[in-house]
């Protein structure tokens, strides 16, 4: 594909769209801008849920539930 494609990704739908575009056009032409409006600092850790979710989808690490890292556990 000639030219760049930019995906504005927010939430699960945006992350799925970004993954679909990656599958269709490949990573060389794709730029993804993730929503940061839901970011929060909790217990001293900065959490960016939409950006994290988008990264999990693009890296094919998404859990079967559609969110979180496959095989991860929370204790």
Q: What is the mean pLDDT of the chain?
A: 92
More confident residue, 3 or 27: 27
Q: Is residue 66 part of a domain?
A: no
Q: How far is 48 from 9, CA to CA, in rounded Å?
A: 13
pLDDT digit string, tens, across residues 46-69: 999 999 999 999 999 999 988 889
Q: Is the pLDDT of residue 1 over 80?
A: no
pLDDT-derived band at 73, boundaries 50, 70, 90: confident
Q: Is residue 67 part of a domain?
A: no
Q: Is residue 26 part of a domain?
A: yes
68: exposed, middle or buried (C-beta count within 10 Å: 0-12, 13-18, 19+)? middle
Q: Is residue 15 part of a domain?
A: yes
Domain extent, residue 49, equals 5-58
pTM of the model: 0.84
Number of structural domains, the chain? Answer: 1
């Amino acid at each position: 594909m000639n030219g760049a494609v930019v995906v504005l990704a927010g939430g699960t739908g945006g992350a799925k769209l970004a993954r679909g575009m990656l599958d269709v056009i490949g990573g060389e032409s794709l730029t993804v801008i993730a929503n940061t409006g839901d970011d929060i600092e909790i217990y001293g850790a900065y959490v960016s849920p939409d950006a994290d979710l988008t990264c999990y989808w693009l890296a094919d690490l998404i859990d079967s539930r559609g969110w979180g890292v496959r095989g991860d556990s929370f204790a």
